[in-house]
Structure 1
């Protein structure tokens, strides 16, 4: 279905536990919240907003706390999944609705999963992009991440843990760093499938960007798109975004009462065959019959990288619209 060009984007801010959340919405009908990941913004859903509006939904893309025009609370504890789930509930209420469908990508997938798990009466269905659902539990996350990588190497999540360290690398050249990070995870600019992927580790004493693809830009990342993202982070800095990584051990503690819990609402998964998230977490995908018992479908897009809704927007739009149509009639 063709997007309706006459349905304009509407920007607004709403009150939430974070303080202020910036939203961009398009269309009318059942509410669909779109939750981005790192390092992105509401703009990551620029292709989905008009498509879902044309399909008869009220599509709302959120700037997660710490991003864009949303508030940036101080301290890593303010970026726990419990708090981000409460932000999503506040958005639903501020928009005058009782329930919503959630669609999350990357960290947004984890935020959407936690929101659906903690507030099943509010979030009636959940679509997860790139990062599959894994129930709370297992070893402490930072203990796991510290064991990833070879001798003299440090996994990127561990690298992000120390306040100020990654900021010192990124903020002198935000645009260049973002371009390299996006390229490292895009299918057309990452290493060939049979080559080792070094882009998620830093050598001891080195920087993460030292292993980014050199002078390589994925097809989806035009100058206009990169300029938008760069302007956002040049204005806000990266600390709010990076604090999500620094809260993972608190999540592990907070969600302990939900260890092993499935998400029982209708669900959908879309990932890429060339995304490290779907290979590292292949066991989580295999466990979907238990962890997502109401899963409608799991789609792995052949030759697609991590940024599925930007690398493959038309395919992603079709899969989302088809799935949403099975949940509830739209307003079209």
Structure 2
């Protein structure tokens, strides 16, 4: 039976939205909510929080939807399990199911960015009865394949270490980040933004030489235009409080996910779908073949868009365009 949401309070960072904390099996999930109508569940990526959807919440509410942005477990005000394996994909899908039930709903459109895109895709894959439409931002849908992920990432790195491999050992990335969380976030956000991302042919922060750190290759200088000092304060305060171990544990489950989801080898997503990528985002350029395969792997694809000049933080960098694309797609996929 649906569980009632706990008491809400107005958000001080996203005007018009309210904070709620709802019970899901195993813990509690914090969310921001705005509007009434069909439910649209918004799932952030790394290293973000529900705040990353601050531009979408009012736009979707104005378009006639109940927009709900969650803090994924391990982030923000949501619960922070201790075991690494508690962050496997099936658990995150379970949290999303729990949120829908806790809000008294039976179905939802689900939209995700970065790791949230993968969570959203798996929500639609594992529970198509509940998640009836799926929007994927920055990271395209790639079906399960026979290669173990950590083996694939080791090959990508070559003589250097790919960042996903770098994140695998608990405590290693934390030792780099913890002394200056806000500064690390600023460098990471800037390095993946359109206009401030390192130009092609230069050393990438996604590859770590032996004995170095990711931050050694971050872009230095002014913040990108989409990120104000106040925005960075919000993110910095959240991660100063929680640390990034919960967020990093998502990466430490890629092999568990591969084992858990083996039964879905080659599975296609048939729900009405949307993909939006940034032309300057490595997730787009490295996965161009995956995007090209969407005609086969994502047969329910309604529309696909690559935004010129845009980096990784797509719904924050190009809020107006993303809002327009989301609402047009939702009116088709979830009228």
TM-score range relative to shorter protein: over 0.9
* 2:24 aligned to which of 16, 26, 29: 16
Give the Cα separation in 2 of the matches to 1:196 and 1:267. 35
- Aligned partner of residue 81 in structure 2, secondary structure: coil
Deviation at 1:18, TM superposition (A): 4.2
The structure 1 residue matched to 2:74, chosen from 66, 70, 74, is 66
Q: Which residue of 2 aligns with 1:114?
A: 122
Aligned length: 322
Tell me how far 1:188 sits from its aligned partner: 1.3
2:57 corresponds to which residue?
Answer: 49
Offset from partner CA, 1:181-227 (integer Å, 9 cap, x none): 001100111123x4335110111011110000122421111100000
- Taking the TM superposition and a 5 Å limit, the aligned residue runs for 1:263-274 are 263-274=269-280
Partner of 1:102: helix, strand, or coil?
strand
Aligned counterpart in structure 1 of residue 283 of structure 2, from 277, 289, 306: 277
Query: What CA deviation, in whole Å up to 9, does each residue of 1:125-155 have, x standing for no partner?
Result: 000000000011230000011112342x111
What secondary structure does 2:211 align onto?
Answer: coil
Which sections of structure 2, spanning at least 5 residues, go unmatched? 1-13
Q: Does the CA-based 8 Å contact 2:203-2:217 persist in structure 1?
A: no
Per-residue CA deviation, residues 215-257 of structure 1 (Å, 9 max, x unaligned), is 2421111100000000000000010000000000000000000
2:103 matched to 1:103? no
2:318 equivalent to 1:312: yes
Rounded Cα–Cα distance in structure 1 between residues aligned with 2:212 and 2:286? 24
Q: TM-score, normalised by structure 2?
A: 0.94
Aligned equivalents of 2:285, 2:73: Cα separation in 1: 29
TM-score (norm 1): 0.95
Aligned match of 1:130: 138
The separation in 1 between residues aligned to 2:96 and 2:33, in whole angstroms, is: 14
Contact 1:109 1:132 (8 Å CA) reproduced: yes
State yes or no: 1:243 paired with 2:249.
yes
Equivalent residue for 1:222? 228
Shift of 1:320: 0.1
Q: What's the counterpart of residue 258 of structure 1?
A: 264
Per-residue deviation, 1:30: 0.2
Gaps of 5+ in 1: 1-5
Q: For residue 10 of structure 2, what is the aligned residue in structure 1?
A: none
Among candidates 125, 145, 148, match of residue 156 of structure 2? 148
Confirm or deny: 8 A CA contact 2:39 2:67 kept in the other structure: yes
Query: Pairwise CA RMSD of aligned residues?
Result: 1.2
CA distance in 2, matches of 1:55, 1:216: 34
Q: Give the distance between the partners of 1:163 and 1:315, measured in 2 at CA.
A: 38
Stretches (4+) displaced over 6 A: none
Q: Deviations over 1:279-306 (max 9, x none)?
A: 1111110111111101001100011000
